[in-house]
Structure formats: structure tokens, C-alpha cells
């Protein structure tokens, strides 16, 4: 059958519309229909969303709603639905609204008012990066942006150290090296992926240990938007002595004996004195 764009009125409700993460072609027919038919369109930046609308010949007045919008702004948006029966679409600058976005409060309040909330699926940078990473996809944790201050960054990463799932973060290029160094110190030589400029002309996927990637970035600095993925922790249950020895061998390649013992002890929950004895057996 031939699929054509529909131009029918939308039922009253809040529509969360996925938009491209880089390539303007990565948008669904339903998204275009929703953007065209909605009574009101809210976005993060009218310049960004305006470019998307122009590319598809959609003429629509835009209003701004971000995580900095006030309670009054939120109430006014929801009143358009609950009191006026309008269809209201919400988009972010790129990807899915509310992913790494405090806008979840809007949906929470909508649900509390028995307002219908509809998802119009689309591209997602975390999932796109996970697809091409080569890391396990059956269990993963998206942790959003990594804190900028050193102490907060360390505490943040320490909490995730033992998670036995692929970790997915957003990070900026200027802070990427500091973050990789922190991951190296806390997680050892786990496999990491740096996915940059996803779906764009200069898309690039870098893979290696934190040390490998640090060397690569020093040799050839990168630009663009980055998704960082880190291999999950080894399951602690059922670790054999040989498993711990393997972890020690890997860690001792780039760390002192003392630091390697500390890292492996944290990864396995094995007492430091036992890990130390095993480390000595490798000398």
C-alpha cells in the first residue's frame, strides 16, 4: 500500500514528538503529521525547531518550553489541553523529549490531571550509540550528563562502578579526557566507546580502553557532540580465583600494584588482603 501523510485533527492531549538527532531525514511520518496538525507547538529553541519545520514545509507558530520554564508556564500549557481541548505537541532540540530532560514534571502533572499523553517515537542518541557500540545491549543504564566538578564526577562514577550493565553517558568534548581518566582510575581498563556526531556527515565511533582513547584524543582531538559508553561491571557472584587474577593482570598493566589491588577489590568485593595476596602471586 502507499503511505501518505494524513491531515486530520488530533485528539486533545499532550504529544511528545521525537525529532532528528542530526540528520533531518531521521523523522517519522507520524511526527510530521503531528507537527502539522497540532493546535500548539512547544520547543526548546525556535531557531532549531524552525529549521526542521522549514525543511518539511510546515508553517506553525512555536512557543518555548524548557526545564527553566516556570510553574505558571506549565500550568498555562496544560490548561490549553484540559480547559480548551487542544492538542499540544512538545519537542526537544534533538531526539526524544524528556530523555535527559527534567521535563518529566510536565508529564507527571498532565497525568495527575488525567490528560492523555502520547509518545510519537523517533531517534534517540543513547540508543543509536548503543546499537553500534558492540557492547552488551540486553542490559544497559542511561545516566545522562556527567557532573562537571571533579569531586562530584568521582562520586557519580563511583556509584555506578558495580552496575553489571552497559553504562551510557552524555559528555562534552572539552571534559571528555578528564572523564576518561576518572573512569580509568575507578573502573580499570574496561572497554569504552566514544560515539560522536551520530547520524551526521562526520559520524565517528572510537573504541578501546580508557587509556587507548586518551592517547587517541591527545594525538587527534575531536569535535562535536559525544555519547560515551562504558562496559558494565563483572558480576560479583560466582567469580573464581582465576577470574580475579585476570582482572589483576589487566589492571596491573596500567596501574601500580597498590592501585590495582584497590580497583579489583572494589570491582569484586573481595577483601583487599586477599586480592593483595593474589597480586603478589603474579609478580
Question: Can you give the residue ranges of every domain in the chain?
Answer: 13-123, 126-230, 241-281
Q: What is the pLDDT of residue 236?
A: 60
- How much is the pLDDT for 4? 59
Q: Do domains 13-123 and 126-230 have the same CATH topology?
A: no
Domain 13-123 has CATH 3.30.70.270: no
Q: Which of 47, 84, 81, 86 is nearest to 64 (CA)?
A: 47
- 264: exposed, middle or buried (C-beta count within 10 Å: 0-12, 13-18, 19+)? buried
Our separate counts of H helices and E strands in the chain read 11, 10
> Quick check: 12 and 86 in contact, CB under 8 A?
yes
Q: How far apart are CA 34 and CA 19, in angstroms?
A: 11
Q: Which CATH class is domain 126-230?
A: alpha beta
For the chain, which ranges sit under pLDDT 50? 1
Q: What per-residue confidence (pLDDT) applies to 273? A: 84
What's the confidence (pLDDT) of residue 173?
95
pTM: 0.81
Strands (E), the chain: 13-17, 40-43, 62-64, 87-90, 117-120, 140-145, 166-171, 192-196, 204-208, 226-230
C-alpha cell at 83: 480547559
Amino acid at each position: 500500500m502507499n503511505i501518505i501523510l494524513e491531515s486530520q485533527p488530533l485528539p486533545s492531549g499532550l504529544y511528545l514528538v521525537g525529532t532528528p538527532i542530526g540528520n533531518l531525514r531521521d523523522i517519522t511520518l507520524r511526527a510530521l503529521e503531528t507537527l502539522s496538525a497540532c493546535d500548539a507547538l512547544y520547543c526548546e529553541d525556535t531557531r532549531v525547531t524552525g529549521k526542521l519545520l522549514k525543511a518539511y514545509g510546515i508553517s506553525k507558530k512555536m512557543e518555548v518550553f524548557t526545564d527553566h520554564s516556570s510553574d505558571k508556564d506549565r500550568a498555562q500549557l496544560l490548561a490549553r489541553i484540559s480547559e480548551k481541548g487542544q492538542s499540544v505537541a512538545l519537542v526537544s532540540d534533538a531526539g526524544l523529549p524528556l530523555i535527559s530532560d527534567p521535563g518529566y514534571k510536565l508529564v507527571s502533572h498532565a497525568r495527575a490531571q488525567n490528560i492523555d499523553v502520547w509518545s510519537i517515537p523517533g531517534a534517540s542518541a543513547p540508543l543509536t550509540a548503543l546499537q553500534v557500540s558492540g557492547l552488551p545491549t540486553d542490559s544497559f543504564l542511561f545516566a545522562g550528563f556527567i557532573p562537571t566538578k571533579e569531586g562530584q564526577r568521582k562520586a557519580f562514577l563511583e556509584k555506578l562502578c558495580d552496575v553489571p550493565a552497559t553504562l551510557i553517558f552524555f559528555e562534552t568534548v572539552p571534559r571528555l579526557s578528564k572523564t576518561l581518566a576518572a573512569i580509568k582510575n575507578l573502573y580499570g581498563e574496561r572497554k569504552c566507546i566514544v560515539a560522536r556526531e551520530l547520524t551526521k556527515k562526520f559520524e565517528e565511533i572510537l573504541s578501546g580502553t580508557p587509556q587507548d582513547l586518551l592517547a587517541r584524543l591527545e594525538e587527534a582531538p575531536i569535535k562535536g557532540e559525544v555519547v560515551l559508553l562504558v562496559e558494565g561491571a563483572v558480576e560479583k557472584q560466582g567469580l573464581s580465583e582465576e577470574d580475579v587474577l585476570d582482572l589483576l593482570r589487566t589492571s596491573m598493566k596500567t596501574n601500580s600494584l597498590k592501585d590495582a589491588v584497590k580497583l579489583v577489590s572494589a570491582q569484586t568485593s573481595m577483601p583487599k588482603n586477599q586480592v593483595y595476596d593474589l597480586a603478589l602471586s603474579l609478580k
